[in-house]
Structure 1
């Protein structure tokens, strides 16, 4: 029986070889033989694997984040780098690895997990579900000329030493959004200011010496000259316009500007011709409740939400969730306990995870998910507890 455990530093060559073959088989092999030689982007995270005796069969990386959900901050385990070499595939190893990962998350009180899938259907089988939508705006830089008239702040290039000033800007950029990550100093330095091939450009706008907004971007030449803005965060609308002005100032250098942003941005209302802006909606990451009882008891509920609902939860991967729970909410606080009662509602772990973060309203969970309720009264009670809100898994990992 394979065992699940940490991959030690002296096995980093094997770990990276499996990872590179799975995700970048066409790239030249440049695999580090010790941890100190790893690219900075590859350093964060806890390396795990399944072993048969001493043979490393498959791998995963766990990241320990703090994220927002419905206005509160919660721990979140980010799952990445799940990979198996071809000689070990089709043996159920990844299913075992995912189950063992959930056990570890629960032991660490990480009651929420997220990932970016290679295939949504694959991870849905194990309880993860799509969470949120990201908007990608693309235009000629001239379309942003409207921002040139702003009485703006001053621009300066930022470095990794500016992370403390950038943290409040990042938080403001995700106000009211679930799964908007908080960042450690290590993450700022090793993942935001460090690229896979070339380090990105990072510029900020200041007013009266205070950082009010920043952008992180690359300039790509494969399809012409495209300014690919990975992050565009601002304290307020005034700073947002300053950042658009900064992007417009590159009209002599780039042919297109592509910006990853929020659905509620007013960009289409600000431009002179909204048809000059292409807006592509892309599926977000995936989320999963690791421990239903702990997660539901910890969530911040809307103050008007009141009442008690008995939920029957179906979870074929994490047996501790496959049970019936009584959720009682009063004045925004909750208790969640296992009970032996007839349920008011039945729900799978995927739909419940989406309700938890706000991806689904109760009505949509009944239409597009697998939520089944006994009465309209129960549906109304749940609707008060789990209103829909914007969800963006804001980190790539």
Structure 2
């Protein structure tokens, strides 16, 4: 008997993208279709089949991300869609479970997705892990004496230079993608944007901006800076577009300090939930995770959708070395308790252990919270990419 979940291939692309265009309400030109197909060549695509037709589908993109300065293999879930006549039959649920099984087998120990509904994907273990802060700034607020050294120059796309600057910046945050050349070509530089690079006084590149000017607005697509001076150089550069635009829009990390640098910080600042994340393999993730400080704690994790993750783990950090042991008899240990969702948010740094504890989402004694606060590095999550 034919299995309902099948791995799809190039011969299915027309059907795959017909469903994507219907579900996500867009229309591809022939040229755009070819670009989409080229992108999809790196995806693993599974379809739930009904009489040899795709009823539902899911794309898995092999990626990596930075967590506390370390690269983690990551599976990006994308383009999950179902035809209306097949919805609410549990097909996506089965596709997600299949994807988790394959990610674990492939060593992709964490997964991201951009949800149509946070509540829907929380049922399957993904959790809110990335928030965007949106700025809309009257451009005159950037017209000031920035006290900088160095200069800014517009450039044509130079992946080698941009990648070097991006990688130094990305490692400062938890969750940023480790980009490769194809990702730059197919995703980051796919649109026609202006690019300018900030150079320090010694002619060393230290940041860049990708942007467009339209509808009387400077729309910043990506702003990367590896020094305060580079940031100020780029802000000054943006301000020099005042004859072309009245405002500037950009997306920044939650802990961004731009309001501290502007003389009048009253401008539109809006925080919006963005991506979700999920630990795929708890044991492997804990053993790979770069804990800091010293201490030991016993942690019980509940994963109802992927039960092989459910268990109790002893974590010991001594003299800079970490050991993680699975405790088979959970009754032997007094432990802190949390769901797979809260474990993901806590270890990514989206919120601190004390935040989840205060919200009643992490059960632990006060001394255990103190240990978790000490062992888990404090680093903000941020994600500039989309898929």
Question: Quick check: TM above 0.5?
Answer: yes
CA distances 1:229-287 after superposition (whole Å, capped 9, x unpaired) = 12100121111111112211111112211011123333212222112x32211223111
Q: In the alignment, what sits opposite 2:107?
A: 109
Match of 2:294 in 1: 305
Alignment coverage as a number of residue pairs: 382
**What's the CA shift for 1:212?**
1.9
1:380: how far off? 2.0
C-alpha change, 1:36 and 1:372, in structure 2 (3 Å) is same
Partner of 1:279: 269
How far, CA to CA, are the matches of 1:147 and 1:231 in structure 2?
23
In the alignment, structure 2 segments of 5+ residues that lack a partner are none
TM-superposition CA deviations, 1:116-172 (whole Å, max 9, x none): 11111111111011113222222121111125663431312231xx11211231133
Distance 2:40 2:234 in 1: 30
- Mind listing any 5+ residue stretches in structure 1 that lack a counterpart? none
2:260 — aligned with what? 269
SS of residue in 2 equivalent to 1:204: strand
The aligned residue for residue 8 of structure 1 is 9
CA distance in 1, matches of 2:27, 2:274: 30
> Does the CA contact (< 8 Å) of 2:125 and 2:305 recur in 1?
yes
Which of 318, 333, 342 is matched with 2:306 structurally? 318
1:331 aligned onto 2:319:
yes
1:349-372 alpha-carbon deviations (Å, 9 max, x no partner): 100111111112121111225211
Q: Shift in Å at residue 31 of structure 1?
A: 6.6
Q: Are the aligned partners of 2:131 and 2:382 in contact in 1 as well (CA < 8 Å)?
A: yes
- 1:118 is paired with a residue whose SS is coil
| Correspondences of 1:19-58 after superposition (within 5 Å) | 19-24=20-25, 27-28=26-27, 30=29, 36=34, 38=36, 44-52=42-50, 54-58=52-56
Residues 268 and 112 of structure 1, relative CA distance in 2, 3 Å threshold: same
Report the TM-score when normalising by structure 1: 0.89
Contact 1:203/1:216 (<8 A) preserved: yes
Query: Residue 164 of structure 2 is aligned with which of 145, 155, 168?
Result: 168
The answer to whether the 8 A contact 1:356-1:386 is kept is: yes
Q: Shift of the alpha carbon at 1:41?
A: 6.0
Match of 2:199 in 1: 206
Which residue is equivalent to 2:235? 244
Deviations 1:59-91 (A, max 9, x none): 122122221112222111111111111111010
Whether contact under 8 Å (2:68, 2:171) holds in the other structure is no
Is contact 2:60-2:77 (8 Å) kept? yes
Residue 301 (structure 1) shift:
0.8
- Aligned CA RMSD, in angstroms, stands at 2.3
* SS of equivalent to 1:17: helix
| Equivalence for 1:383 | 373
Q: Does 1:341 align with 2:342?
A: no
Please list the CA deviations of residues 279-314 of structure 1 after superposition, one character each: whole Å capped at 9, or x if unmatched: 211223111000000001110011x2222x222211
Aligned to 1:396: 386
CA distance in structure 2 between the aligned counterparts of 1:310 and 1:8, rounded to whole angstroms: 44
Cα distance, 1:264–1:146 mapped onto 2, change above 3 Å? farther
Instruction: Report how far residue 395 of structure 1 moved.
Output: 1.6
CA distance in 2, matches of 1:338, 1:117: 32
Q: 1:186 maps to which residue?
A: 182
